[in-house]
Structure 1
């Protein structure tokens, strides 16, 4: 799931298959809402995690999709 710094994903999980060709995903997130938990998790990234995060963001930006305008 691609998101910006203004979106905090609290929970993300796949759900049980329900017979569709779509992959069911559950996401609980906040937009422009800072919490103590969010601050703690984003300020305390482990060594190398910030680089991984930035690489994932770059890949998402460069990804081609028919769903984008």
Structure 2
């Protein structure tokens, strides 16, 4: 499980195991084997990707918290 998912995430093998242990990602348990479908990994990446603020956003207008 760990190596292929880690490759998609760009992390160590330990990180996908932690995601499963903390139930932060959907997985399929087949006996003692744990499988994380590629679609689930790609959805996890998309959901947890922080997008930059584009032009016209609050950051480009010089607004800060409290204004």
Larger RCO (CA within 8 A; separation ≥ 6) = 1
TM-score, normalised to structure 2, is 0.28
Q: Structure 1-normalised TM-score?
A: 0.28
Which structure's residues are more often helix, by fraction?
Answer: 2
Which has more strand, going by share of residues? 1
